[in-house]
Structures are given as structure tokens and as C-alpha cells.
Structure 1
Amino acid sequence: MRYRALKLEVFGATPVAASAPSDVDVEEVRLAGYETGYQSGWDDATTEREKSDQLIAADLERNLRDISFTYTEARNEVLTGLGGLFSSILSQFLPAIAAEAVGPIVDAELAALTNDLGEARCELLAAPRTVEQLGWLAERHMEIDLRLTSEPAFADGRVALRFAGEAREIDLSAMVDAMATAIRDFTQQEPQEEERRNA
């Protein structure tokens, strides 16, 4: 018995064999895929960096606000703690310094008056505390009939000399007032005002 091959009729167009892609086409596809992947990675990295920058900026702003607030609190605490010291400086230390500083100036003035006018009577007027601190001048200038007189109306650091018709005044109270004003301004001004003035 013999078998014959069965032939079937093909309907439709005859299929065309697909052509194999060339090396140039493969390289272009590969480069396009690489470029697309690179661009996608770059975009993702840029987005992440922007998000990170926003978080860092927000954290920095919050930290700066906290630091500013902490500085204000710390400054107020320090100034409150030093309130007694500043009060003593204003009421005792500065006047004492003025009274001490005026001594050598008055001493030099008395020496000059003695050289110019010779022996005579001299009256020295000063605040009570200043008079106490200038008591040594009577012993130093024995050749002068020096009389020290308390004048409550005088501020510490102000001295008036009356000597043989001459009148001279030495006044360091303005210096004391300027120093006291500077201390008061520092302790009372707001931190923002201080920063503005220092800028």
C-alpha cells in the first residue's frame, strides 16, 4: 500500500519572510533605550534632590527660629540674674570710680594753683562721698589752708575749687552719666534692636 502526501490549498497572500535587523538598527535601539533610562534616572534624582532641599530648608528655618528664641530667653535670663550687679554698678561702683578718678586731677590742679598763686586759703566743694575720698589732699598740700566742704547738690566726680579769688571746676559726672546710660541701654534694649544697631 502506498501513501501519497496530502497537499492543502493555501488561502491568502503568500507570507514574506521577515528580514533580519541590521547592526545599525540594533545599535540605535540600544542607544535609545540607554538614553531613555538615563533620562528617567536623572529626572528621579532631580526630584529627590528637590524634595531633600525642601526638607533641609524647612529644618534650617525651624532650627534658626529655635536658636533665636533660645537666644532671647538666655539673654533675658542672664540680664535678670545680673540685675543686682548692674544696679550696684550704677549706684555704687560708677560714683566710686568717679570720686577716685577725680582725686589725681584735683591734686594736680591744687599744685598748679599753689605754684601760680602761692600760699592762700582754698575751699574745695564736692559731694559728701567725694569729700571723704579727697581727705588725703589736706595732708598732701599742707602749705594751703585747704577746707573740704560737702555739697549735697554736687554729683560724685564734680569738684569746685575756690582759691584766692580764683574758681575752677572739675566735673567727671558727665562721664559717669554716659557710662550709666550705656549700661541702661544695653540691659533694656530688645535683641532685635541690638542686632539692627550692630549690623
Structure 2
Amino acid sequence: MTIAHLLEDFGMNTSAEPALPAVSEELIEEQRLASFENGYSAGWDDAVTAKDQESNRVSAELANSLEDLSFTYHEAQNQLLDSLDPMFKVLTSAVLPDAMAASFGHHIVDQLSDMAKGQTDQPMQIVVSPGEAAPVRSLLPDNFSVPVTVQEDSVLSPGQAYLRIGSTECEINCDALLESIQDSIEAFTYHAKEDSQYG
């Protein structure tokens, strides 16, 4: 007698098939839809994140470009002001004083002619600094209807004159005009440098 009946058979010869759990088509379709929704949402979130990152990058680059442009503008403005400063100094210290001195007598005659309009019967008087009477007299035309007197006053400095026609007076002061021009140029350069330094 054999003992085979006492031992268990582990052979492959089994006739019973394993039972698969029954899955309905509805459950499979629901899982597919849920997977699609999850994938779509994840893709949308990735796209929004990428767009936000791109917008932030573009904004940062634009801010840097504008900052560089602003710096370049202020740098160019400062260089321009620095290069104009010596020219302004030469203009107010040499060119304008020489030009005013050369045209001083002509300016007096022009101003006197303007003042004389409508007051041709009034006496005319020009008061200048010492040494300027003769050059001014030589510029006066001979066709004034009334005589014009030119006299010197030691109180006046070169480039300064008083014109009188009747009760009307006018002062010509080249030094004050030059000083005013210099003050205006200095104020302009000061404010332009302040604006470029502090934005």
C-alpha cells in the first residue's frame, strides 16, 4: 500500500479557475473620467504656474531694463551738464561781457529812441560812467528833434547808464544783467544735477 493518499498533491493539474471579481462597465468608465479630470487639472495647474513664472520673469526683466535706461538717461544728463558748465562759464565771463561792451552805446541809442516816441518835445539826457561819454556821443544820430546831452558821473561803473526824457527814466546796467544771467545758469545747473541725482 502506498502513502500517496496521505500526502497533499501540489501539481499543476488543477481544474478550478480562480474567480475574478466582477467589475462593471460603469465603474471602469467612472475611473477613466476621474483619471482624465485629474490629468486635465494637473496640466492646467502646470500651465498656470508656467505662465505666472514667465510673467514674473518678463516683469523683472522689464524693471531691470527700465532701471538701466533711467540710469543711462541720468548719466547722459550729468555728462551733458558737466560738458556745458565750462561753456557757460566762458560765455558769462568772456563772451557776453565783450559783446555787451561792444554794443553798449548802440543799446543806449536804441533805448533812447524807444523812449522818445511820443515825447519829442522833452529834453533828453544820457548819464554814463567816466570815459564813456565820447563813444556814446559819436553814436547819436544828428536827426533827434531835440538836443541830447551826454554827461559822465563818477558814481556809475562801466556798462551802467541812466537815460532821462522829461520825467521818464531808464537804467541800463550790464553788470546786473550779467550777474542775473550767471545766477540763472547756476540755478539751472544746480537744479538739473539735483533732479538727476534724486530722480
Q: Which amino acid aligns with 1:25?
A: L
Contact 2:128 2:156 in 1 (8 A): no
Cα separation, partners in 2 of 1:123 and 1:47, compared to 1, 3 Å: same
Structure 1 portions without partners, runs of 5+: 1-6
Partner-residue secondary structure (3-state), 1:168? strand
Cα separation, partners in 2 of 1:63 and 1:148, compared to 1, 3 Å: farther
Which residue of structure 1 aligns with residue 112 of structure 2?
106
Instruction: State yes or no: 1:193 paired with 2:195.
Output: yes
Instruction: State yes or no: 1:70 paired with 2:76.
Output: no
Q: Which amino acid aligns with 2:169?
A: R
Partner-residue secondary structure (3-state), 2:78? helix
TM-score between both structures, scaled by the size of structure 1 = 0.61
Q: Distance in 1 between matches of 2:188 and 2:194?
A: 12
Measure how far apart 1:153 and its partner are: 4.4
| Map 1:1-199 → 2, pairs under 5 A | 18-22=21-25, 24-91=26-93, 92-93=95-96, 96=100, 104-113=110-119, 115-117=120-122, 120=123, 122-125=125-128, 136-141=139-144, 143-147=146-150, 149=152, 153=156, 159-163=161-165, 166=167, 168-170=169-171, 179-191=181-193, 193=195
Partner-residue secondary structure (3-state), 1:82? helix
Contact 1:124 1:160 in 2 (8 A): yes
Q: Distance in 2 between matches of 1:134 and 1:31?
A: 110
Q: Which amino acid aligns with 2:52?
A: E
Measure how far apart 1:93 and its partner are: 3.7
Partner-residue secondary structure (3-state), 2:126? strand
Q: Distance in 2 between matches of 1:34 and 1:127?
A: 105
Percentage of pairs with the same residue:
21
Contact 2:74 2:196 in 1 (8 A): no
Partner-residue secondary structure (3-state), 2:185? helix
Cα separation, partners in 2 of 1:124 and 1:71, compared to 1, 3 Å: same
**Corresponding pairs, count:** 181
Structure 2 portions without partners, runs of 5+: 1-12
TM-score between both structures, scaled by the size of structure 2 = 0.61
